Amino acid sequence: QTVVTQEPSFSVSPGGTVTLTCGLSSGSVSTSYYPSWYQQTPGQAPRTLIYSTNTRSSGVPDRFSGSILGNKAALTITGAQADDESDYYCVLYMGSGISVFGGGTQLTVL
């Protein structure tokens, strides 16, 4: 069974830069997995941030960017703001109609 891995938690200072990653328990993440990233605050529905590795969804600030770093997908927040404090989830498409979410990263801005 494929497991998508994310850091459980991360901390960043206001104005700082943080990179969250999304990996596979076995193998490397590539663009063919169509990595996407979602932001969720408590009690709210997820919000789509990034799709197809590095394309920002409509209305998403350019301080959010996506990439492949080594063997993982990555979400970088440059110039973090207080309202970036959220949970962040990546999703990888495994083919055959199946998508798998990572466990999520709880980001603290302090």
Partner 1 sequence: EVQLVESGGGLVQPGGSLRLSCAASGFTFSSYWMSWVRQAPGKGLEWVANIKQDGSEKYYVDSVKGRFTISRDNAKNSLYLQMNSLRAEDTAVYYCARRAFGVVVYFDYWGQGTLVTVSS
Contacts with partner 1 by CB under 8 A: the residue count is 25
d(C-alpha 13, C-alpha 108), whole Å: 8
Binds partner 1 by CB under 8 A, chosen from 5, 30, 48, 65: 48
Nearest-approach distance from CB 93 to partner 1, in angstroms? 4
Smallest distance from the beta carbon of 35 to partner 1, in angstroms? 9
Closest CA to 102 of 80, 85, 87: 87
* Least distance between partner 1 and beta carbon 18 (Å): 19
Establish if 96 lies at the interface with partner 1 (CB under 8 A). Answer: yes
Torsion (CA) 58, 4, 44, 51 in degrees, nearest 10: 10
For 91, counting Cβ atoms within 10 Å of its Cβ (0-12 exposed, 13-18 middle, 19+ buried), the class is: buried
What is the residue-wise DSSP string for 73-86? Answer: EEEEEES--GGG-S
Q: Does 56 bind partner 1 (CB under 8 A)?
A: no
Q: Return residues touching partner 1 (CB under 8 A).
A: 1, 34, 36, 38, 40, 45-48, 51-52, 57, 87, 89, 91, 93, 96-104
